[in-house]
Structure 1
Amino acid sequence: MRKSLLLLPLLLAATLDAQNLTAPLLSGSWQSTYHNPAMVHFLPTTFTVGLPGIANDLRLQNVEYGDVFVKSGGQQILNLAAWAGLAEERNAVQDVYSIETIGAAARRGNFGYQLYHRLRVNGDADYPRSFINLVALGNAAFIGQTVDIAPRGGIVSYQEVGASFSYAVNDQIAIGGRVKYLAGVSSIEAAEGGTLELGTGTENYTLTLDKDLTLNSVRAFAFRSLDDFDLTYNPSRLQPGDLFTPNNGFAFDIGVAVNLDRLRLNASATDLGAGIDWKADITTLRFEGTSTFSGLDILGDLLRDSVSLDRAVDSLVTALEPVSGATAYRSNIAASIFLGGEYDLTEKITAGALLTLEDRLGELVPAFAITGRYTLTDWLKVGLNLNHRSGIRTNLGLHALATPGRFQLFAASDKLLSLLSSGNSSVAGIRLGAAMTLGERRSSGAFRP
């Protein structure tokens, strides 16, 4: 347990879930309604049942898997030196995924209604280059310096129950709103503003560790000490009882959709005011104070032999030992803005564009997608999408919407190039979903019946 403690920050970074850039544009699909409550008016029938689906989107900023892992003896080995050379001052790790369970939508006259349930996991963190340099090069590289090695952000998972109401103002414009009940499942988060500053003296390489960091968690640790704890974290836990605990919150979505026959536009803002107030099953670890201990190159020593490793780990455990408690806290969930549209160039070819703005750790980050879709048959559409996110290479994606009979089957990935590159990627993700269309089909292109 003690030796694995040194790898815990890396494990957290590797397991940290932003949404697919295709679904918000695909008017008429069940998946588009998650991003805009007014998109219910584009659904092809008066009643739609949302069936189970899954979405995942992983992003690593500045590094790619193939750059930091090398093959040796048939195994993948982490190349810390290469990682240190690629990392910037701050490096984002973001992973967003959802498990969609069931939902339903209905249109009656000018009104639209929707109710659904899903599990969401939002991982949004970053780590400093100084931490990777410290692990890769040892503290001898920082003589006479003080570096902050604290991560920011964390992971939060919750069940979401959304109820939407929308209204067709006229034949071309519909507006909608949604209230969402958020039931917290689990959380691991570094409190905002925390620091872990490590200084290496010029004489005898004396190490000084200034600690001012709070780690908040729910259903993540069975903690007794840094030398004795169990990691119980399961972000994908999906149990009905979690809907009715004191750990909960609310969020709101608003949206507008415009139907000009061949041209369809939409704009929305999601997760407004979103947050979860954690009041039960909390473990708070408070790292504070200053610890000073000597040792030559402690990280160099611990890699040489097991005796040095045990001695180094004992020293670090003593220096890092936190105060454990249970303090209530709040997880704020970032809002997103979507602006998009699609245009039918011909009866078979459709082009579209999407701009999203996401609040990431207090910074507004844009993403952009251009799509092209071709109607192969009256029940199958396939398309390509070119995606760009800040700090990540532009990527090519693939999507398909099949409508055999009363079913809708949706599959998309913004990462086609990543999937074809044998794992040498900074992004990975896919979205799969289904729905069943019931009732009368739309009799015209207008929103009003």
Structure 2
Amino acid sequence: MYRIYIAYILILLIVGSVSAQDNTQIFLKGIPQNNIMNPAFRPVDGWYIAMPALGGVQINGENSGFSWNDIIRPDATSDSTVIDLDYAAGQLQDLNTFATEATLQVLGLGFSVREHTFLSFEINHRLKARANYPKALFDLRNGNWNYEGNAPINHDLSDMYVHGVDYNEIAFGWSRILNSKFTIGARAKIILGVAHVESEYVDAKFITEENSLVSLQSSMAVRTNLPLDIGYDDEGYVSSVELSDSFGADDFLSTKNKGFAFDFGVTYQATEKLLLGASVIDVGSISWTTETTQLSTSGTFLFEGVDVSDEITGEEGGEDDYWAQLEADFKEAFKVEDANEVYSTGLMGNFNVSAFYQFQPWLNFGVLSKNYVIDELFLPEASFSVGLSHRKVISSAITYTMKKNAPSNLGTGISVRAGAFQFYAVTDNLLSLFDPENAQYVNGRIGINLIFDKKKEEL
């Protein structure tokens, strides 16, 4: 059991720290992708093509709880390393989060229509995953009794939450200059779901009574559209669950799980140099209709201790029967049921507020507030930037981003253009590239565009 627990913690660490939307790209002038977080932005004054499968490759991740070096630490008595759960637990807040997000821009293009309208079209493949985990998950290592205080220890894991979604996205964007002050934009998205898993609810508590009796009270449900091979016992309850081998490459092109989403944005030119913006991103849902399964259980298991009399007396016979009976009692307490129903889920959207100040033609400053609400947990982020540019040849930005339990992230971005060819690269945490073991937030995005100006300019 302890090995399983350690494995779970390591998986949480690896998934959360090596693989959510990058902020620096919004500050990088002249790249078509800087309107991802606000569709009202007009990225170019002519037209562009994002190179197929190369226009934008993004992979981001964060773990607000701890970094790799917080849990894998040097052994004080030798030259080796050890798993130090005590130190890692000391870095945690009561409720922590990790997130993974990846995007592949399969195709992107956009163009101006007259002077006031800009249209765009994109095809993207996207993956999003977020989870909340309580500090109590790590406190399980301390057992259920405080021997110094001679008092029971209870553990509440009810704040755990997992949500992962993978889908293809076909997006149609529109931006319109209303007057000298206001520009509005919207993006309509057709969503084609590939895979989904979500914990609908988790209510789990380890309760220890004064007489040392331990009870596990649990009620939880998980739903997914992944194809599962489910086994049943004689009473019709779920006895085993395995991922089916039928899930293959064709499922990534499925059009059976449909949904729609929208982005909305607005910008306001407050002064000649100050531009304000606001947007909401990924407002919508996916309807999951294929291979849907809900697994649920609810019950209470009472553990009264282990009979070790045979071990003391040296007699044989009862140990195997005892553990077999304990396993049977546990399964009897938590009978798992399954159901197959169509369901809908959201896309884990966000809302953003931004401000940009063009101090000089070559120098600008910016600030971005990006905010998520995941399972009723508010997750704010804030980024500040200084940008340097030279006409349309080169643009750069240096950013400082503050996130939950990870307040210091120095990022940078650069785009270089030669004629119509443009290459760009951004990251919100530059130091993680050189010291990934201590990073709680890692991300990056690179891409290649072809940009054709409406009016030919000498670069």
TM-score interval for Structure 1 and Structure 2 normalised by the shorter chain: 0.7 to 0.9
- 1:339-354 map, 5 Å: 339-354=353-368
- Residue from 103, 122, 125 that aligns with 1:116: 122
Compared CA separation, residues 415 and 116, structure 1 to 2 (3 A): same
Which is greater in Rg? Answer: 2
Tell me by how many angstroms 1:436 deviates. Answer: 1.2
Report if the CA contact (8 A) 1:46-1:442 is conserved. Answer: no
- Residue from 186, 198, 213 that aligns with 2:206: 198
159-168 or 43-52: which moved more? 43-52
Report if the CA contact (8 A) 2:25-2:413 is conserved. Answer: no
Tell me by how many angstroms 1:324 deviates. Answer: 3.0
Question: In structure 2, what is the equivalent of residue 447 of structure 1?
Answer: none
- Residue from 332, 336, 344 that aligns with 2:346: 332
1:300-319: CA deviations, max 9, x gaps?
Answer: xxxxxxx99x9599579736
Compared CA separation, residues 20 and 238, structure 1 to 2 (3 A): farther
Tell me by how many angstroms 1:344 deviates. Answer: 3.2
Task: Give the partner amino acid of 2:387.
Answer: R
1:137-184: CA deviations, max 9, x gaps?
Answer: 233459634422242132122211111122222355321111112221
- For 1:235 and 1:149, the matched residues in 2 are separated by 32
398-407 or 216-225: which moved more? 216-225
Tell me by how many angstroms 1:280 deviates. Answer: 1.7
CA RMSD of aligned residues (A): 3.6
Question: In structure 1, what is the equivalent of residue 235 of structure 2?
Answer: none
Question: In structure 2, what is the equivalent of residue 15 of structure 1?
Answer: 15
**Structure 2 stretches lacking a partner, 5+ long:** 233-237, 308-318
- For 2:380 and 2:68, the matched residues in 1 are separated by 23
- Residue from 356, 374, 381 that aligns with 2:388: 374
Question: In structure 1, what is the equivalent of residue 91 of structure 2?
Answer: 86
- For 2:267 and 2:84, the matched residues in 1 are separated by 49
- Residue from 202, 216, 230 that aligns with 2:242: 230
- For 2:173 and 2:290, the matched residues in 1 are separated by 29
- For 1:146 and 1:7, the matched residues in 2 are separated by 23
- 1:427-442 map, 5 Å: 427-438=441-452, 440-441=454-455
Secondary structure, aligned partner of 2:35: helix
22-31 or 210-219: which moved more? 22-31
Report if the CA contact (8 A) 1:154-1:190 is conserved. Answer: yes
Task: Give the partner amino acid of 1:103.
Answer: G
Question: In structure 1, what is the equivalent of residue 316 of structure 2?
Answer: none
- For 2:124 and 2:27, the matched residues in 1 are separated by 21
Question: In structure 2, what is the equivalent of residue 252 of structure 1?
Answer: 262
Report if the CA contact (8 A) 2:146-2:152 is conserved. Answer: no
Report if the CA contact (8 A) 2:300-2:334 is conserved. Answer: no
- For 2:63 and 2:390, the matched residues in 1 are separated by 35
- For 2:247 and 2:61, the matched residues in 1 are separated by 15
Question: Is 1:269 the counterpart of 2:280 in the alignment?
Answer: yes
- For 2:79 and 2:243, the matched residues in 1 are separated by 30
- 1:43-54 map, 5 Å: 43-49=44-50, 51=52, 52=54, 53-54=56-57
119-128 or 44-53: which moved more? 44-53
Task: Give the partner amino acid of 1:15.
Answer: V
- Residue from 50, 59, 64 that aligns with 1:61: 64
- For 1:314 and 1:60, the matched residues in 2 are separated by 35
Q: If the length of structure 2 is used for normalisation, what is the TM-score?
A: 0.81
Report if the CA contact (8 A) 2:176-2:183 is conserved. Answer: yes
Question: In structure 1, what is the equivalent of residue 174 of structure 2?
Answer: 165
- For 1:363 and 1:234, the matched residues in 2 are separated by 36
Alignment: residue pair count: 427
- For 1:373 and 1:233, the matched residues in 2 are separated by 50
Compared CA separation, residues 233 and 347, structure 1 to 2 (3 A): farther
Percent identity among equivalent residues? 20
Compared CA separation, residues 171 and 377, structure 1 to 2 (3 A): closer
Compared CA separation, residues 311 and 104, structure 1 to 2 (3 A): farther
- 1:315-330 map, 5 Å: 318=331, 320=334, 322-330=336-344
1:79-110: CA deviations, max 9, x gaps?
Answer: 22222333222111122222221111111112
1:391-448: CA deviations, max 9, x gaps?
Answer: 32221111111112212222111111233334112111111122211363478xxxxx
Tell me by how many angstroms 1:195 deviates. Answer: 0.3
Question: In structure 2, what is the equivalent of residue 404 of structure 1?
Answer: 418
311-320 or 207-216: which moved more? 311-320
- For 1:175 and 1:406, the matched residues in 2 are separated by 27
Task: Give the partner amino acid of 1:198.
Answer: F
Tell me by how many angstroms 1:239 deviates. Answer: 5.4
Secondary structure, aligned partner of 2:34: helix
Q: If the length of structure 1 is used for normalisation, what is the TM-score?
A: 0.83
Compared CA separation, residues 101 and 233, structure 1 to 2 (3 A): farther
Question: In structure 1, what is the equivalent of residue 314 of structure 2?
Answer: none
Compared CA separation, residues 321 and 70, structure 1 to 2 (3 A): farther
Secondary structure, aligned partner of 1:38: coil
Report if the CA contact (8 A) 2:67-2:440 is conserved. Answer: yes
Tell me by how many angstroms 1:348 deviates. Answer: 2.8
Report if the CA contact (8 A) 1:45-1:442 is conserved. Answer: no
Question: In structure 1, what is the equivalent of residue 103 of structure 2?
Answer: 98
Task: Give the partner amino acid of 2:155.
Answer: V
Compared CA separation, residues 49 and 88, structure 1 to 2 (3 A): closer
**Structure 1 stretches lacking a partner, 5+ long:** 298-306, 444-449
- For 2:456 and 2:405, the matched residues in 1 are separated by 42
